[in-house]
Amino acid sequence: MTGVLTALPVLLPALGAGTSLLRPPRSVMRGLSIGVLTGVVVCGAALLVLADQRGPQVLHVGGWPAPLGVTLVADRLAALLLTVSALVALAVLVFAVGQGTAEGRGNSAAVFHPAYLVLVTGVGLAFLTGDLFNLFVAFEVMLAASYVLITLDADENRVRAGMTYTIVSLTSSLLFLSLVALVYAATGTVTLAQLGPRLAELPDGLRSGLALLLLAVLGIKASIVPLHFWLPDSYPTAPAPITAVFAALLTKVGVYALLRTQTLLFPRSDVWTLLACAAIVTMVVGILGALAQDDLNRVLSFALVSHIGFMLFGIALFDVQGLTGTILYVVHHIVVQAALFLAAGLVVRRTGTASLHRMAALPPPGPLIATLFVVPALSLSGIPPLSGFVAKLALLRAAAAQGTTAAYALAAAALFTSLLTLSTMARAGMAAFMERAPGPAEPSPKRPHGTGRVRSGGMRLMLAAAAGTTATGVAVAVCAGPLVGLAGRAAEDLLHPREYRSVVLEGSER
C-alpha cells in the first residue's frame, strides 16, 4: 500500500493531465485539476508522516529492484518539499481560475490545465526519483510544461522571453545529459544510492570535474549568479499565477537537486569554499539588481535570485545545522515567494501598471491587498517572528557554530542582503500602497496582460488564494518548533544516508 502511495504524487497529476486532454466541460476541468492537486497534497502529507515515523518509503516500479528499474523514494526531505509544493500549486491554481488565466480566450482552458498538471508531475518526479537519469527526465517534463505556460495566449514579448527561457534550459539539459553519460561511463550506474561509494573510488581530478559540472548544471536550474541572467527576463512577462508557481517551485527543485546530489554523491567534511563564494555573490548581486528595478515583477524576480544565495549558504557549510537552515529556508521561500507574486498580481490588476513610479501617482489598491503584500515582504526580509526570521536565524546560528572565516563571511553577506531586502520591499510597498496627494495626471499606461475586468466571484477566489498562501507562510512560523525538528532529522538523513541506501538497494548488489 505504501508503494502505491509513493507513486500517487506522480501518477495522479499525469492521469489528470491525460484526462483533461479529452476537453471535458470547463467546470469539470476545474474540479478535476483542483481535486488532483488536493489528492497530491494529501498523499504528500501521508508520505511525510510515514517517512518521519518509519523511514524512507520506496517503490520499485514494475517490481524491478534498483539499479535495474525505476525507483521512487520518499524520505523526510522529499515528502516535506512535495507537500509544501503541492499546497502552493493548489493555491496558485485557484488564483488562476479566479483571474481567468486558466480559462482565458480561445482554447486556453484546454491547454492550461493539462500543462499545469504536467508541471506538477515533473515537480513530484524530481522530488521522488531515486536515480540521476530520471532526475533529468523530471527537469525535461517541467521544461516542456513551463514553456507552454509561459507562452500561453502570448504576445511578442512573452514569446521572446519564452524562447530565452527555453534555450537556456535546453543548454542546461544537454549538459545534464552529458553528465549522466559521463557518470554512467565512470561508475556503471545512475542510481543515487549506489553512486556515492562508486564516485569515491574515482581519481580526485575526475571526481572534482563531475562535481563541478553538476554544480554548473543545477546552478542554471536554480538561478545561481552568474548563471541567473535568464530568470529576470523570463518570469515577469508571464501572468501572475504562472510567475508565482515558477518562482515558488522551479528554482527550488534545482536547489533540492543540489542538496540531494551533493550530499549523496560528493560528501564533504568541511566548508565548500566555492559554493560559499557563489552564495555570497548570489545574495549581493541579486538584491542590488532588485534595488535598480522600477517594474514590481522584476524587483521580485531579482529578489528571488538573491535569496537562492541563502539556500546555498547552508549547503556550503555542509553540516547538520547548515543543512537544517537550508531546508527551513526552502520551505519558507516556496510559500513566501508565491504569496508575493500573487499579491503583486493583485496590485497590478488594481493599478493597471507594474511600474513603481506610475503606481506612486495612482490611488492605492486598498488595505487588504496591502496586508497580503506586506506580510510576505516582511518575512522575506527576515523580520521576527515570521518564517524568514526563523530560517535566517537557523543559518546564522549554523555559521556561528562553524566559526570559520567563510562561515562569518556568509553570515555578514546574509545580514547585509536582509537589510537591502527590507529597503527594497519598503520602496515597493510605499510606491504601491502609500496614500498621496493628487498630482498632475500622467498618461494612462498600457494595461499589462491579465489585468482586465474580473467577475466578482473571480476576485474573491484570487483574494482567497493569496490570503491562504500568506496564511500558510505565517503557519510556517507558528509551527517553527516541530518544523525545525523535522528539518534537523532530514539534514541528518542527508549527511548520513546509510538508511536511504539500505532501503533502496535492499535485495540488490550494492
The 10s digit of each residue's pLDDT in 319-367 is 999 999 999 999 999 999 999 999 999 999 888 888 888 888 888 888 9
Which amino acid is residue 66, in one-letter code? Answer: A
C-alpha cell at 94: 485557484
Please give the pLDDT value at position 228.
84
The average pLDDT across 470-487 equals: 93
Q: Model pTM?
A: 0.92
Residue 87 has pLDDT above 60, yes or no: yes
Please give the pLDDT value at position 510.
44
The average pLDDT across 242-266 equals: 92
pLDDT tens-digit series, residues 67-79: 777 889 999 999 9
Q: Can you tell me the distance from the alpha carbon of 169 to that of 217, in angstroms, rounded to the nearest whole number?
A: 10
The average pLDDT across 462-479 equals: 93
Higher pLDDT, residue 150 or 426: 426
Confidence of residue 1 (pLDDT cuts 50, 70, 90): low
Confidence of residue 21 (pLDDT cuts 50, 70, 90): confident
Contact predicate 382/388, CB 8 Å: yes
Confidence of residue 27 (pLDDT cuts 50, 70, 90): confident
Q: Can you tell me the distance from the alpha carbon of 136 to that of 183, in angstroms, rounded to the nearest whole number?
A: 13
Please give the pLDDT value at position 102.
57
The average pLDDT across 456-475 equals: 89
pLDDT tens-digit series, residues 157-196: 777 877 888 888 889 999 999 999 999 999 989 999 899 8
Please give the pLDDT value at position 443.
46
Residue 412 has pLDDT above 90, yes or no: yes
CA angle at residue 122 from 282 to 162, to 5 degrees? 60
State the chain's mean pLDDT as an integer.
Answer: 88
- Give which of 62, 64, 56 is closest to 2, Cα–Cα: 56
The average pLDDT across 395-411 equals: 94
Which amino acid is residue 368, in one-letter code? Answer: L
User: Where does residue 153 rank: exposed (0-12), middle (13-18), buried (19+ CB within 10 A)?
Assistant: middle
- Give which of 18, 2, 8, 6 is closest to 38, Cα–Cα: 8
Please give the pLDDT value at position 444.
46
- Give which of 193, 194, 139 is closest to 171, Cα–Cα: 139
C-alpha cell at 123: 515537480
Q: Can you tell me the distance from the alpha carbon of 235 to that of 3, in angstroms, rounded to the nearest whole number?
A: 36
Residue 310 has pLDDT above 60, yes or no: yes
Among 143-157, 210-224, 396-410, 412-426, the least confident range: 143-157
For residue 236, give the DSSP letter: G
The cell 572565516 sits on which residue?
A: 405
